[in-house]
Structure 1
Amino acid sequence: MSRVVGFKKIKFYTNENIGSGELDLPEQQMHTTSYWLSIAAATMQGLPFGGDDRRDGVVGLAFAMKNVAQLLLMCDGHDIGLSVDGGSLDRSTRTGGISSFPEALAAEPNVFIYDNYPGGIGFSRPLFEMHDVLLQRTQELIQGCPCQSGCPSCVGPEGNTGPQAKQVASLILKSLVSGASV
């Protein structure tokens, strides 16, 4: 399910933001297929960061995973979508294709990389089959990026994900790849 909550006016060629506004449109449903990753509550609770930093780390991890998935699947960025939610948390808001959870993570966050077409176009199964490669390459991407706390090449711009997103995403990936808690 997705809901448009606003828009931006972007200048051609420079991508300069020249305005924005709010919209109130009904939610849209699309039946499709998805690769799904749940991060264990024990892993999240073992992180030496607060709830906001944990959330930012999961959102940054999801951003990086989608970028790596595009390369592995050799698809366009618009062919797959991304959604992040906070497991059984009651409140969630959807902004920019990512559902974010405003409270401290008490449950298992979930990352969904889905086929962005009704019924799916066949990307979910190969992504599931490449699960280990996806996590390994995502870890390599984040650790190999020379930025300090996030950039569009790894976990997303710091302004979108927070100053600790890169460090938190790295710790989560370390746990997922090794199979041990942080």
Structure 2
Amino acid sequence: RTRADYYTDAIDYTRLKILDDFERSPAGQGEAARGEVHIVRRIPGYKKIRYYTHENIGYGNIHLPDQEMHTTAVWWQMAPEALEQRFASRHEALDGFLGAAYAMHHVAALVVMSEPQDLGRAVGDGDARWFATVGSNGRGQLRTLDGGECDPEQEGRFRPAVFLYDHYPGGVGLSAPLFDSRDRVIRDALSLIRQCDCAHGCPGCIGPILASDEVRGFSPKQAAITVLEGLESHGAA
């Protein structure tokens, strides 16, 4: 028996490939879509999260078999030319997409009246060539199919997407109403981040952040706002 001031949470690497798209719609300077996806989920370790403040205070390694499933998802992508205009580097864009995905995930669960665990989230390219995750240093990382790290600046085609998927094999019908509410998800996620009083980002808006603005050279919170502004459909009801 021990008295610990933290709990553990899985480090989740999710590789996702689009199999078919059922419907698409413009979304600001990009597009939103709904379709069928194939997911490979790997859990290489766990994070130690402090009670009450939800700070990330460490991690440990574990070895478990991969989990695979087919399900339905909604995803948002920004046009590559808009991405280049809005961000000084691809690292900044990557951190922005990861922060935006965190906010969108929690907003989406409220919108479709589900538990956050009923929806999964991922940031990747949709072709399963790479996926994004937050590293132990608090910064976004690009990883290949075998889990190796790669440099986003060296990628020929860089078009990250935020995926929110039905966290059950085959899906249980969450993606259709989520696609119908796609504009509200973006709008409410923007409001959530803008109204948060934190400086760099926190578990209440874009997720646990370890690296400060000074370390990154940019604000991860502002990067997430920039992503969502690029996907916002102005004049949407």
Calculate the TM-score normalised by the size of structure 2: 0.64
Match of residue 184, structure 2, among 129, 133, 144: 133
Counterpart AA for 2:192? L
Calculate the TM-score normalised by the size of structure 1: 0.81
Structure 2 residue 40 is the aligned partner of structure 1 residue 40: no
- Structure 2: distance between partners of 1:14 and 1:147: 12
- Structure 1: distance between partners of 2:50 and 2:224: 32
Structure 2 residue 95 is the aligned partner of structure 1 residue 56: yes
- Structure 2: distance between partners of 1:47 and 1:116: 32
| Residue of structure 2 equivalent to 1:156 | 207
| Residue of structure 2 equivalent to 1:167 | 222
Q: Which runs of 5+ in 2 are unaligned?
A: 1-39, 143-150
* Residue pairs, 1:1-182, within 5 angstroms: 1-8=40-47, 20-87=59-126, 90-92=129-131, 100-101=141-142, 102-104=151-153, 106-159=157-210, 164-178=219-233
* Residues 1:172 and 1:91: Cα distance change in structure 2 (over 3 Å): closer
Q: Deviations over 1:113-157 (max 9, x none)?
A: 011111111110101000111111111111111212111111112
Q: Deviations over 1:40-83 (max 9, x none)?
A: 21221112432222111110000000011011111111111111
Q: Which has the higher contact order (CA 8 A, sep 6+)?
A: 1
Structure 1 or 2: larger strand share?
Answer: 2
Greater Cα offset, 25-34 or 160-169: 160-169
- Structure 2: distance between partners of 1:156 and 1:73: 21
* Residues 1:17 and 1:158: Cα distance change in structure 2 (over 3 Å): closer
Counterpart AA for 1:171? T
The aligned length equals 177
Structure 1 or 2: larger helix share?
Answer: 1
- Given that 1:84 and 1:100 are in contact with CA atoms closer than 8 Å, whether structure 2 keeps it comes out as no
Counterpart AA for 2:196? C
Q: Which runs of 5+ in 1 are unaligned?
A: none
* Residues 1:169 and 1:5: Cα distance change in structure 2 (over 3 Å): same
Residue 17 of structure 1 deviates from its aligned partner by 7.9
